[in-house]
Amino acid sequence: MTEVTKKFSMSTRREFIRQTVSATGVTAVAGNASAGISNNSRRWAREADVLVVGSGAAALSAAIAVVQAGGRVIVVEGAPTIGGTTAKSAGAYWIPNNQFMRAAGTTDPKMDAIRYMVRDGFPARYREDLPNLGIEANEFALIEAYYDNSAKVIESLEAAGAIRSVTAAVYDYFDHTDLNKAPRGRALVPLKPDGTWGRGSELVHQLKEWLADKPVKFLLKHRVTGIERNAKGEVIGLAASDPKGDTVLLRANKAVMFGTGGYSQNQQLLRCFQPGPIHGACSVPAAQGDFVKIGIEVGAMLGNMANAWRSQVILEQALQSPSVPMTLEIPPGDSMILVNKYGRRVVDEKRNYNVRGRAHFVFDETENEYPNDLLFMIYDQRTAELFAGDMLLPEPGTSADFVITAPTIATLGQAIQQRLDTLAARIGARTLDANFLTGLQQQISQFNRDAKAGKDSQFKRGLYPYDGDWHKNVDSVERTDTRWPHNPGPNFTMYPLSDNGPYHAIIVGAGMLDTNGGPIINARAQVLDTHGQPIPGLYGAGNCVASPVGQGYWGAGSTLGPALTFGTLAGRNAAAESLKQDL
Ligand SMILES: Cc1cc2nc3c(=O)[nH]c(=O)nc-3n(C[C@H](O)[C@H](O)[C@H](O)COP(=O)(O)OP(=O)(O)OC[C@H]3O[C@@H](n4cnc5c(N)ncnc54)[C@H](O)[C@@H]3O)c2cc1C
Span 125-140, pLDDT tens digits: 999 999 999 999 999 9
d(CA 273, CA 292): 12
Name the residue of 560, 565, 566, 568 whose CB sits within 8 Å of the most ligand 1 atoms, as the mutation to test its pocket: 560
Q: Ligand 1 centre from 539 Cα, in Å?
A: 17
State mean pLDDT over 156-184.
96
Long-range CB pairs of 14-21 (<8 Å, 24+ gap) are 14/297, 17/296, 17/297, 18/297, 21/293, 21/296, 21/297
Q: What is the pLDDT of residue 17?
A: 35
Regarding the beta carbon of 419 and ligand 1, being less than 6 Å apart is answered no
pLDDT digits (tens, 9 = 90+) for 323-340: 999 999 999 999 999 999
d(CA 247, CA 445): 63
Q: Which domains occur in the chain, in start order?
A: 311-513 (3.90.700.10)
Nearest CA to ligand 1 atom 49: 84
Name the residue of 154, 260, 309 whose CB sits within 8 Å of the most ligand 1 atoms, as the mutation to test its pocket: 260
Nearest CA to ligand 1 atom 26: 542
Name the residue of 89, 294, 327 whose CB sits within 8 Å of the most ligand 1 atoms, as the mutation to test its pocket: 89
Q: Are 255 and 50 in contact (CB under 8 A)?
A: yes
Three-state secondary-structure class, residue 50: strand
Three-state secondary-structure class, residue 14: helix
Give percent above pLDDT 90 in the chain. 89
For residues 341-366, one letter each, b for 16 or more C-beta atoms within 10 angstroms of the residue's C-beta and e for the rest, the string is bbbbbbbbbbbbbbbbbbbbbeeeee
Regarding the beta carbon of 548 and ligand 1, being less than 6 Å apart is answered no
- Mean pLDDT, the chain, whole residue set: 93
Q: Ligand 1 centre from 259 Cα, in Å?
A: 9
Q: What is the pLDDT of residue 114?
A: 98
Q: What is the pLDDT of residue 40?
A: 58
Q: What is the pLDDT of residue 10?
A: 36
Q: Comparing 465 with 408, which gets the higher pLDDT?
A: 408
The strand pairing partners of 364, in sequence order, are 369
pLDDT digits (tens, 9 = 90+) for 494-512: 999 999 999 999 999 999 9
The strand pairing partners of 188, in sequence order, are 93, 167
Q: Ligand 1 centre from 583 Cα, in Å?
A: 34
Q: Are 203 and 107 in contact (CB under 8 A)?
A: no
The residues, ordered by sequence, that sit 6+ positions from 498 with a Cβ below 8 Å of its Cβ are: 335, 380, 381, 382
Q: Ligand 1 centre from 38 Cα, in Å?
A: 32
Inform me whether the pLDDT recorded for 445 exceeds 70: yes
Report the atom number in ligand 1 closest to the C-alpha of 240.
Answer: 42
d(CA 534, CA 31): 14
Give the pLDDT band (50/70/90) at residue 469. confident
Query: Crossing angle, helix 57-68 and helix 137-159, to 10 degrees?
Result: 70
Q: Ligand 1 centre from 283 Cα, in Å?
A: 6
Identify the CA nearest to 287 among candidates 512, 76, 555.
512
Q: Ligand 1 centre from 561 Cα, in Å?
A: 12
Q: How crowded is the C-beta side of 492, counted as CA atoms within 13 Å?
A: 14
Inform me whether the pLDDT recorded for 19 exceeds 50: no
Q: Are 227 and 536 in contact (CB under 8 A)?
A: no
Nearest CA to ligand 1 atom 33: 54
Long-range CB pairs of 158-164 (<8 Å, 24+ gap) are 160/64, 160/68, 160/210, 161/210, 162/64, 162/206, 162/207, 162/210, 163/190, 163/203, 163/206, 163/207, 164/190, 164/191, 164/206
Q: What is the pLDDT of residue 26?
A: 25
pLDDT digits (tens, 9 = 90+) for 340-377: 999 999 999 999 999 999 999 999 999 999 999 999 99
Q: Ligand 1 centre from 349 Cα, in Å?
A: 26
State mean pLDDT over 433-454.
98
Considering Cα of 313, then 314, then 319, then 321, what sign does the dihedral take?
A: negative
Inform me whether the pLDDT recorded for 36 exceeds 70: no
Inform me whether the pLDDT recorded for 248 exceeds 70: yes
Nearest CA to ligand 1 atom 50: 89
Helix, strand, coil percentages, rounded to 5, for the chain: 35, 20, 45
Nearest CA to ligand 1 atom 14: 89
